[in-house]
């Protein structure tokens, strides 16, 4: 709705009421809201945001008020040659669609008929007189994508919510010929189906989409809050068309079905960019496609909102503001390491500092940060980018992942020469990061001199607030919690409701374990200690293991004790003496 209505004439509300699109009561409420905002909100935007009217209904009344025709776009209403009269980038940026040219008059569709500046630009660029028609921004973007596609960006706004398998049953024959497969992948039912799968996955907050051809059907599953659940079942014979459509969007080779492929898709949904990472892998009944969804709206860049316990957050913030050294975040794939690192980078970024990242791939764009992407195919590895980056006068460096000795060694040298280095490592707990780096071949004395902290984290599913109820967990679990000195007066879990898809969970909460490297720990690391020695020393210095922080979240009613047990090892050593 951004910039939907620059008109806010007094007659708009009356027109909506006269046409039966808006009740008098809703009009009064909308006018009161507009008045309370000091006139900063437009009436049309208010009634659409409140769900009183649709965007199409409001635009229809705006068009009537201006004496301009309102149209519903389809392929018969415009001449593709008219689009060539104006730069494609200009049209998409301003959401304008040239419809046709008659003599020296160019008719264009716009969602902002009152924007006189754009109309003047249209006259200057085209050299024609401009005749306006009003159409919704959604219709204009959809028309561009469906009939005038851009090879780089796919707009998936206008999704028909009632898409079902009947829509794709228009395709009746199995697909063997690749040329036919290409044609079929571009047919509207397949486009709508793939768009619907992506749209509903983003709407449901999924991190991944799995499209799996089985012996009898295609199984579509979404990973929501770390767990997969089935979303759709589709006819098996359209599997090649779906895979080909996704490959076309990701600019992959649709003729290659025997080898795995990886690619990226950039889409627009509700006006915001979303990146999709695509991976294909051959199965006996077709190609499995997995789509990783990178939604910038979902990433939380505020440390205080990441679920840190107060004492851990205080120590963590102190560590990331050190002038130099290495700060590591560890955990398995999907444990939120990247989100934590992005949040840490965001917290220390300023105009006075040169902040750089080396990633594979760049997942989210950060303001005031120079982000470099690894490309192994051309020899641009983490180590290669990092070596060049050190000549770019950085203050703070984030390395997406320490994978090998060379990357680790360059990162440590950077930390020892006055840089603050953030990175991730795949280990089970904080102390294991030390032994992992030593086993990679890093000299223990160098590690002792450069390492500042290690944060280990996991994600537990958060109890759904709508169906949250108290319950009694098993005695064994309560006893294990008591061994760590933690007790809860009441335990909670979700019983399942429509909002949480009957899972009892909605969203996730992080549990943490923070190892702060003090002088005693540095002396110990320099001696290449065993993992048990490191854990024992860290515990004596007050480090609480993952499970302890998880039990705190249980006591606060955020997650269940079963989730904490599933996400963490005990990580607790009996103290001697």
- The pLDDT tens digits of the residues spanning 398-414 come to 998 998 999 999 999 99
Q: What is the pLDDT of residue 6?
A: 41
| Weakest mean pLDDT among 65-69, 146-150, 306-310, 362-366 | 146-150
Q: What is the pLDDT of residue 39?
A: 66
Counting residues of the chain whose pLDDT is more than 90, the rounded percentage is: 34
CA distance 162 to 528: 62
* Concatenated DSSP letters of 492-558: EEE---TTTTTSSEEEEEEEEEEEE--HHHHHHHTT---HHHHHHHHHHTTPPPHHHHHHHHHHTTS
What's the chain's average pLDDT? 82
22: left (phi over 0), alpha (psi -120 to 50) or beta: beta
Q: What is the pLDDT of residue 504?
A: 92
Q: What is the pLDDT of residue 171?
A: 29
* pLDDT band of 188, cuts 50, 70, 90: low
What is the mean predicted confidence (pLDDT) over 526-549? 91
- Cα distance from N-terminal residue to C-terminal residue, the chain: 66
Q: What is the pLDDT of residue 300?
A: 58
What is the mean predicted confidence (pLDDT) over 194-204? 86
Q: Which helix (H) or strand (E) holds 189?
A: helix 188-203
* pLDDT band of 516, cuts 50, 70, 90: very high
What 3-state class would DSSP assign to 574? coil
Q: What is the pLDDT of residue 325?
A: 95
Q: Of 55, 91, 97, which is closest to residue 75 (Cα–Cα)?
A: 97
Is-contact 133 69, C-beta < 8 A?
A: yes
* pLDDT band of 74, cuts 50, 70, 90: low
CA distance 399 to 358: 5
* pLDDT band of 458, cuts 50, 70, 90: very high
Q: What is the pLDDT of residue 165?
A: 32
CA atoms within 13 A on the CB side of 110: 24
> Greater confidence, 555 or 153?
555
Residue 315 predicted with pLDDT over 90: yes
Which residues make Cβ contacts (< 8 Å) with residue 266, sequence separation at least 6?
152, 153, 154, 273, 274, 275, 276
Residue 161 predicted with pLDDT over 70: no
* pLDDT band of 575, cuts 50, 70, 90: very low
> Greater confidence, 76 or 359?
359
Residue 513 predicted with pLDDT over 80: yes
| Weakest mean pLDDT among 244-248, 342-346, 365-369, 523-527 | 365-369
CA distance 2 to 216: 45
Q: What is the CA radius of gyration of the chain?
A: 28
Which residues make Cβ contacts (< 8 Å) with residue 480, sequence separation at least 6?
565, 570
CA atoms within 13 A on the CB side of 200: 19
- The pLDDT tens digits of the residues spanning 103-148 come to 888 888 888 877 788 888 888 888 888 888 888 877 787 777 655 5
Is-contact 409 440, C-beta < 8 A?
A: no
Which residues make Cβ contacts (< 8 Å) with residue 424, sequence separation at least 6?
328, 329, 330, 331, 337, 338, 341, 400, 401, 402
- Counting every residue, how long is the chain? 577
Task: Give the Å distances, CA to CA, from 491 to 547, 551, 560, 572.
Answer: 16, 11, 7, 23
* pLDDT band of 455, cuts 50, 70, 90: very high
Q: What is the pLDDT of residue 76?
A: 60
Residue 9 predicted with pLDDT over 60: no
Q: What is the pLDDT of residue 269?
A: 74
């Amino acid at each position: 709705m951004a910039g939907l209505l620059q008109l806010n004439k007094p007659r708009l509300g009356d027109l909506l009421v006269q046409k039966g699109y808006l009740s008098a009561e809703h009009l009064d409420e909308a006018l009161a809201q507009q008045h309370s905002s000091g006139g900063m909100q437009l009436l049309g935007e208010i009634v659409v945001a409140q769900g009183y009217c649709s965007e199409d209904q409001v635009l229809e009344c705006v068009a009537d008020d201006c004496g301009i025709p309102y149209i519903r776009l389809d392929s018969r209403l415009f001449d593709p040659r008219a689009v060539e009269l104006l730069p494609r980038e200009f049209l998409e940026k301003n959401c304008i669609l040239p419809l046709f040219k008659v003599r020296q008059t160019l008719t264009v569709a716009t969602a902002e008929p009152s924007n006189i500046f754009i109309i003047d630009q249209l006259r200057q660029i085209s050299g024609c007189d401009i005749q306006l028609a009003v159409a919704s921004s959604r219709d204009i973007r959809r028309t561009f994508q469906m009939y005038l596609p851009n090879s780089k960006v796919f707009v998936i706004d206008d999704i028909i919510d009632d898409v079902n398998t009947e829509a794709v049953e228009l395709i009746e024959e199995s697909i063997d010929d690749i040329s036919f497969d290409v044609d079929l992948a571009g047919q509207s039912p397949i486009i709508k189906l793939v768009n619907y799968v992506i749209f509903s996955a983003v709407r449901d907050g999924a991190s991944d989409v799995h499209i799996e051809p089985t012996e009898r059907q295609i199984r579509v599953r979404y990973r929501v809050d770390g767990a997969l659940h089935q979303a759709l079942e589709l006819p098996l014979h359209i599997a090649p068309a779906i895979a080909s459509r996704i490959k076309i969007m990701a600019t992959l080779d649709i003729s290659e079905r025997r080898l795995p492929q990886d690619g990226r898709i950039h889409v627009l949904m509700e006006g915001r960019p979303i990146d999709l990472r695509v991976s294909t892998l051959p199965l006996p009944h077709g190609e499995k496609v997995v789509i990783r969804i990178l939604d910038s709206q979902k990433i939380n860049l505020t440390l205080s909102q990441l679920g840190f316990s107060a004492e851990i957050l205080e120590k963590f913030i102190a560590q990331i503001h050190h002038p130099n050294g290495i700060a590591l975040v560890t955990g398995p794939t999907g444990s939120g390491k990247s989100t934590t690192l992005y949040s840490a980078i965001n917290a220390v970024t300023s105009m006075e500092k040169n902040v750089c990242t080396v990633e594979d791939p760049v997942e989210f764009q950060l303001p005031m940060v120079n982000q470099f992407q690894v490309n192994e195919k051309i020899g641009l590895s983490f180590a290669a980018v990092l070596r060049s980056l050190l000549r770019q006068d950085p203050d703070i460096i984030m390395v997406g992942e320490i994978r090998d000795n060379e990357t680790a060694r360059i990162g440590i040298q950077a930390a020892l020469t006055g840089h603050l280095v953030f990175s991730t490592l795949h280990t089970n707990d904080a102390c294991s990061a030390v032994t992992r780096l030593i086993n990679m071949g890093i000299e223990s004395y160098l590690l002792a001199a450069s390492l500042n902290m290690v944060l280990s984290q996991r994600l537990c599913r958060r109890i759904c607030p709508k169906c949250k109820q108290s319950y009694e967990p098993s005695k064994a679990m309560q006893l294990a919690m008591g061994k760590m000195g933690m007790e809860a007066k009441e335990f909670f879990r979700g019983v399942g409701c429509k909002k949480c898809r009957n899972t009892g969970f909605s969203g996730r909460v992080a549990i943490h374990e923070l190892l702060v490297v003090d002088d005693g720990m540095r002396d110990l690391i320099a001696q290449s200690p065993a993992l048990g020695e490191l854990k024992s020393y860290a515990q004596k210095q007050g480090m609480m293991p993952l499970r302890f922080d998880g039990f705190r979240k249980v006591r606060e009613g955020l997650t269940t004790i079963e989730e904490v047990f599933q996400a963490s090892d005990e990580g607790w050593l009996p103290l001697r003496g």
